[in-house]
Amino acid sequence: MDQRDDLRFRVPLYTIAEAARDLDVPPTTLTTWARGYVRRFPGRSRPVKQPPVITALKAAPREPTIPFVGLAEGMVIAAFRRAGVSMQHIRKAVRVLEREIGLDHALASRKLYTDGARILYDYLGRRDEDEIRHLVEVVSGQGVFSKVIADYLVRITYAEDGWAERLALPITARLIVEVDPTRAFGQPIFVHGAARIEDVLARFKAGEPLTHVADDFGVPYEDVEDVVRAVLPVAA
């Protein structure tokens, strides 16, 4: 596959703020994932530099910069963070996975789902990496991803070529909002009804009753209610 011709890799769809909202992480956090950082500490002559951990493309300020593959990578990084792993150890784990899987963008590959836990389990068997142990658990003598991470990975649908093609966003516990780069320009839509959540929320914020909004867009009422509570908790 030539990634240069694949819209999942080459088309910027999300601003930093939009990607942060979709992944339920602070925008400042998403910025460091997408752009890396340089930090200076008192008493140190050299700054600490870290490269990006998700894919971002060049763009003007406040313009979309994150392609779909970057959002998929960000979902996995968010899962690692919620499993209690520091970014220092996550960066190490990502390097291990990309080296052993043998792919760039390994976090967006089906091989992460099928082989990732085994790779990290084998790596841990050779080293004392206590914090990375939050990523994997031992079941029947085998390494599997921890429940937090597994719950995120089931939200990723992979195409026949092995790369992520749809994501069910973690903004709600139920899998009711997804992004697909081939639909609605990659913007979040309801799984049932296919309405953009932006359009649904706009009608609600304009003062229309949730029941009317849900009926007009053909979206289950409980799905609209869950999204409103997640995205507009004060209004809900």
Q: Phi and psi (nearest 5°) for 37?
A: -160, 160
Radius of gyration of the chain (CA): 19
pLDDT tens across 14-59, in order? 999 999 999 999 999 999 999 998 877 677 777 778 899 999 999 8
Give the pLDDT confidence score for residue 106 in this predicted structure: 95
Task: Rounding to the nearest 10 degrees, give the CA dihedral for residues 120, 123, 127, 130.
Answer: 0
pLDDT tens across 117-135, in order? 989 888 877 666 666 778 8
Integer Cα distance of 148 and 154 in angstroms: 11
Give the pLDDT confidence score for residue 139 in this predicted structure: 64
DSSP letter, residue 62: T
CB 57 within 8 A of CB 50: no
Q: Which residues of 104-119 are buried (b: 16+ CB within 10 A; e: fewer)?
A: ebbbbbbbbbeebbeb
CB 145 within 8 A of CB 136: yes
Residue 236 has pLDDT above 60, yes or no: no
The length of the chain is 236
Name the amino acid, one letter, at 124.
Answer: L
Name the amino acid, one letter, at 130.
Answer: D
Residue 156 has pLDDT above 50, yes or no: yes
How does residue 61 score in pLDDT terms, banded at 50, 70 and 90?
Answer: confident
Report helix, strand or coil for 61: coil
Global model pTM greater than 0.85: yes
What does each C-alpha distance from 126 to 90, 102, 123, 133 come to in angstroms?
Answer: 17, 19, 5, 12
The count of other CB atoms within 10 Å of the CB of residue 212 is 11
**Residues sharing a CB contact under 8 Å with residue 15, sequence separation 6 or more, in sequence order:** 62, 63, 64, 65, 66
